[in-house]
Structure 1
Amino acid sequence: MHTILLCGGSGQRLWPLSGSIRSKMFLQLLPAPDGGTESMIGRVCRQLAHAGLDGSVLFVAHQEQLAITRRYTGNKYPVIGEPYKRGTFTAAASGALHLHSTGKAKPEDIICVAPADMYADEDFFRLFHQFPDILASSQAELLLLGTKPAYPSDQYGYIVPAQGGREAYARVLSFAEKPDIAKARELMQEHALWNCGIFAFRLSFLLAHLQKIGLPTDQTAFVAQYPGLPVRSFDKEVAERSSKAAVVRHEGEWSDLGSWDTLTARLHSPVIGEGGLWGDCRDTHVVNELNVPLHVIGVPGIVAIGSPEGILIAAKKDANTIKDILQEHSVKAPMYGETGWGSYTVLDRTANGTSLVLTIMLTLLPEHGIPEMDGQHAAKTWMIVSGHGEVAVNGAAAAASAGGIFTMTRGERHAIRAFSDMKLIEVRISEPGDDGRVYGS
């Protein structure tokens, strides 16, 4: 069986920590077995390995997140990039066609598609081993994994299974996508399951579906059509149209941690970062990435979140509204980003006539570096704050350590590599023609 993990979501409900540059799966907040913290994607990788499912894993991410995905997965698994975000169906098809075109998967092989940011117990992943046998015994064309709801929720989709059988699976009767609370209660009375976004099928099933809707089964041709493809979810495009779908039931722990109330319930402390809680602050959490303290006094049931992107103060029950706000209002250029080589924070943006002056804090990981750039539309100055490494300008390398200053005029080729943890301040004067990107992967 081949497992395709999808990394497409931006997690707007977890703003200001999560966004288009750093998705929620990369947030290093969850308690780890060693007493430290881990990301959602790191936790999933650890659990897949523990369950013996890491033999054939493929990650599908947006092309701008290739490097950060490789970094957070420890460079242990292949990662392919989508040129555009076109939904879970398109991402899954791209991954499956990659496996097919490279000869790693044959038409009769089982493909399992799953989100890379799921949060579940160990038994959840052990159920994956049953998928090949259940697909064979049930004669289903599609297999889903659902979990018993812990409470009526309007944030999850539901799967309604047939009742009465003793098998390890049940036939799927219908689906309900994020119903209101009253309908969710009715669905729970019908023994409906939360839809975990897990799909298993034979590769030949997906190839036939692509042909049916007029899409190529050749990966190169499929990727060439990306710009014109609509956004399609696997649920609506495949699952809800299938008359031969079955579901496996899970009764343990599962959540997608897609909102502040579900994520904070998993944190090891009510205060992360600079700040504190004082007085009656029951069920209040502070998560602060800023270097200024964030204190909450006598306000229960809220989240107080600080990052370079902004500050969110919200009642937990209302915090999901931030997604609607972000969609209704234009969002400024990202102030923080993570890459394969480290991270950056935009400290200041100042327009100066036709130029834009950016002041950026760069943090480089040991033995990582920013590849050579030509600086065609920008002049830069780098001031090393801490650590040591090497800066190359027009091919000439020089040692770089705290206090060092390097200036690159427009058109000069330049690169930097860190030998230890390294911080530097960049002042960039961007001229017309600059693509506006702070830094890529």
Structure 2
Amino acid sequence: MHTILLCGGSGQRLWPLSNHIRSKMFLELLPSPGGGRESMIGRVSRQLVRKGLGSSALFVTHKDQLGLTRRYTKDCFPVIGEPYKRGTFTAAALGAVYLHSTGQAKLDETICVAPADMFADDDFFEHFRVFPDILKTSQADIALLGTRPTHPSDQYGYIVPGLAASSEYSSVIRFEEKPVKLRAQALIQDNALWNCGVFAFSLRFILSYLDQMGLPTDFAELTAQYPALPVRSFDKEVVERTPNIAVIRHEGEWRDLGSWTSLTEQLHETVIGKGGIRGESRNTNIVNELDAPLYVLGVSDIVAVASPDGILIASKETANGIKEILGGSSVYPVYGETIWGSYSVLDRSGSELHAVLTIKLAILSDHHTKELFSRDCSKVWTVVSGDGDVILNGSAYPARVGDVFSIAAGVRHEIRAFTAMEWIEVRIGKERVDEALYVS
């Protein structure tokens, strides 16, 4: 069996901490077993390894998040990148076709597709192991994983099962996507399950499905067609059109940490970062990534979140409304992370003829940027902490605190850190100088 983990999302639901570069799964907020904090994707990676599923796992992400995914999974898994975001169906298909084209999976092997940001107990992953037997025994085309609802939520999809065919699985009668709460209550009374977004099927099934759609089953050919492909949901495109489906019931913990309410319920601290909560402030949380302190006095049931990208003060009940405010905003994030470190945009100034962009970059110890090249702008690097080498057109120069490097347009350049480093980068150019910020 092979497990494909999908890394997606627009990065709006947990704004301002998340953005389209650093989506929610990379936020190191969850308490980890050994102390400290871990990310959602880091937690899932740890659970996959613990349950013996790590050697057969493949992560599929957007190309801009390749490095970040490798960083937060500790580079322990293969990661492939989509050239464009085209929804869960296309991402799952790309992963399956990759396994087929590289000879890693045989036609009769089971492919399990799951979100990389799920939050569940370890027993949840035990169900992955039984998918091959469930598919064989039930003769279903697809097997799903559902969990018993804890309350009538209008944020989840519901699976309505038929009579249990055995103690291990049930057939599926129908689906209902995000019903109103009154309808959700009725569904729960009918023993409906929350849809966990986990799908299992044979490689043969998905390749046949692609063939019927006129899509290639070769990895290079499918990747080449990405620009013309529409956004497709696996639920809408495949699951709801397939009559023969089985579902496994999970009785333990499962949550979608896609809102500030659900996320803060899992935090052991009410204040993360500088600041504090005073007075009558029940069920209030602060998450602050800024150096400036953030205080909440006498206000209950809110979340106060600050990052270089912005500040959000909202009741937990209405915080998801930020998605409508942000809408289809194309503003580039002020803060981003990469496989080697992070960056923050400090200032944009100048004119169209002489645009100036100032960035602060941080690189992890024993890491390096990829080789960079710009035809349109020059750069000035000033080292403010740590030490390493700056590579200019293949030649290495020692870089220490206070050193300044002028990099003309057309010069190949990179930096290699021996210790953790910070430096200030000033870009100057006639064209837009922020179109190629550090994303890998």
- Place the TM-score, normalised by the shorter chain, in its bin: over 0.9
In the alignment, what sits opposite 1:364? 363
SS at match of 2:371: strand
In the alignment, what sits opposite 1:439? 438
Alpha-carbon distance, 1:393 to partner: 2.2
In the alignment, what sits opposite 2:150? 150
In the alignment, what sits opposite 2:348? 349
Cα deviation, 1:367-412, whole Å, max 9, x if unaligned, reads 1112222332111111111111011223332111111111112222
Alpha-carbon distance, 1:359 to partner: 1.1
SS at match of 1:424: strand
Cα deviation, 1:86-118, whole Å, max 9, x if unaligned, reads 000000000000000000011101000000000
Work out whether residues 21 and 337 of structure 1, in 8 Å CA contact, stay in contact via their aligned partners in 2. yes
Cα separation, 1, equivalents of 2:226 and 2:184: 36
Work out whether residues 341 and 368 of structure 1, in 8 Å CA contact, stay in contact via their aligned partners in 2. yes
Cα deviation, 1:111-145, whole Å, max 9, x if unaligned, reads 00000000000110111111111111111110000
In the alignment, what sits opposite 1:405? 404
SS at match of 2:52: coil
Alpha-carbon distance, 1:350 to partner: 1.0
* Pair 55,412 (structure 1): closer, same or farther in 2 beyond 3 Å: closer
Structure 1 unaligned segments of length 5 or more: list them: none
**Does 1:424 find its partner at 2:423?**
yes
Alpha-carbon distance, 1:183 to partner: 1.1
Cα separation, 2, equivalents of 1:209 and 1:395: 49
**Does 1:80 find its partner at 2:74?**
no
Cα separation, 2, equivalents of 1:409 and 1:276: 46
Cα deviation, 1:319-350, whole Å, max 9, x if unaligned, reads 0101111116x342210110111100001111
Equivalent residue runs for 1:316-331 within 5 Å: 316-327=316-327, 330-331=329-330
Structure 2 unaligned segments of length 5 or more: list them: none
Equivalent residue runs for 1:193-204 within 5 Å: 193-204=193-204
Work out whether residues 165 and 171 of structure 2, in 8 Å CA contact, stay in contact via their aligned partners in 1. no
In the alignment, what sits opposite 1:32? 32
**Does 1:188 find its partner at 2:188?**
yes
In the alignment, what sits opposite 1:306? 306
Cα separation, 2, equivalents of 1:371 and 1:54: 28
Structure 1 runs, 4 residues or longer, greater than 4 Å off = none
Superposition RMSD in Å: 1.3
Alpha-carbon distance, 1:433 to partner: 6.5
Alpha-carbon distance, 1:351 to partner: 2.9
Work out whether residues 172 and 247 of structure 2, in 8 Å CA contact, stay in contact via their aligned partners in 1. yes
* TM-score calculated relative to the size of structure 1: 0.97
Cα deviation, 1:154-174, whole Å, max 9, x if unaligned, reads 111110101354421000010
Alpha-carbon distance, 1:80 to partner: 0.5
* TM-score calculated relative to the size of structure 2: 0.98
Cα separation, 2, equivalents of 1:208 and 1:358: 50
Alpha-carbon distance, 1:435 to partner: 6.6
In the alignment, what sits opposite 1:113? 113
Cα deviation, 1:291-314, whole Å, max 9, x if unaligned, reads 111100000000000001100000
Aligned residue identity for 1:417: R
SS at match of 1:398: strand
Work out whether residues 380 and 427 of structure 1, in 8 Å CA contact, stay in contact via their aligned partners in 2. yes
* Pair 215,331 (structure 1): closer, same or farther in 2 beyond 3 Å: closer
Cα separation, 2, equivalents of 1:218 and 1:395: 37
Equivalent residue runs for 1:210-221 within 5 Å: 210-221=210-221
SS at match of 1:246: strand
SS at match of 1:236: helix
Aligned residue identity for 2:190: E
SS at match of 1:14: coil
Aligned residue identity for 1:233: S
Aligned residue identity for 2:147: T
SS at match of 2:135: helix
**Which region of structure 1 is more displaced relative to structure 2, 157-166 or 172-181?**
157-166
Cα separation, 2, equivalents of 1:29 and 1:326: 23
Work out whether residues 394 and 414 of structure 1, in 8 Å CA contact, stay in contact via their aligned partners in 2. yes
In the alignment, what sits opposite 1:122? 122
Work out whether residues 10 and 24 of structure 1, in 8 Å CA contact, stay in contact via their aligned partners in 2. no
Cα deviation, 1:22-54, whole Å, max 9, x if unaligned, reads 011100111001111111000001001111111
Cα separation, 1, equivalents of 2:414 and 2:179: 52
In the alignment, what sits opposite 1:229? 229
Work out whether residues 344 and 360 of structure 2, in 8 Å CA contact, stay in contact via their aligned partners in 1. yes
Alpha-carbon distance, 1:3 to partner: 0.3
**Which region of structure 1 is more displaced relative to structure 2, 165-174 or 314-323?**
165-174
Work out whether residues 21 and 439 of structure 2, in 8 Å CA contact, stay in contact via their aligned partners in 1. no
In the alignment, what sits opposite 2:12? 12
Cα separation, 2, equivalents of 1:86 and 1:250: 29
SS at match of 2:369: strand
Work out whether residues 345 and 357 of structure 2, in 8 Å CA contact, stay in contact via their aligned partners in 1. yes
Aligned residue identity for 2:48: L
In the alignment, what sits opposite 2:93? 93
SS at match of 1:132: helix
Aligned residue identity for 2:414: A
In the alignment, what sits opposite 1:247? 247
Work out whether residues 10 and 22 of structure 1, in 8 Å CA contact, stay in contact via their aligned partners in 2. no
In the alignment, what sits opposite 2:287? 287
Cα separation, 2, equivalents of 1:318 and 1:57: 36
Cα separation, 1, equivalents of 2:181 and 2:350: 48
* Pair 17,141 (structure 1): closer, same or farther in 2 beyond 3 Å: same
Aligned residue identity for 1:274: K
Cα separation, 1, equivalents of 2:379 and 2:210: 48
Cα separation, 1, equivalents of 2:393 and 2:234: 49
* Pair 3,164 (structure 1): closer, same or farther in 2 beyond 3 Å: closer
Cα separation, 2, equivalents of 1:200 and 1:194: 16
Cα separation, 1, equivalents of 2:119 and 2:396: 46
Work out whether residues 62 and 85 of structure 2, in 8 Å CA contact, stay in contact via their aligned partners in 1. yes
Cα separation, 2, equivalents of 1:118 and 1:6: 10
Alpha-carbon distance, 1:55 to partner: 1.9
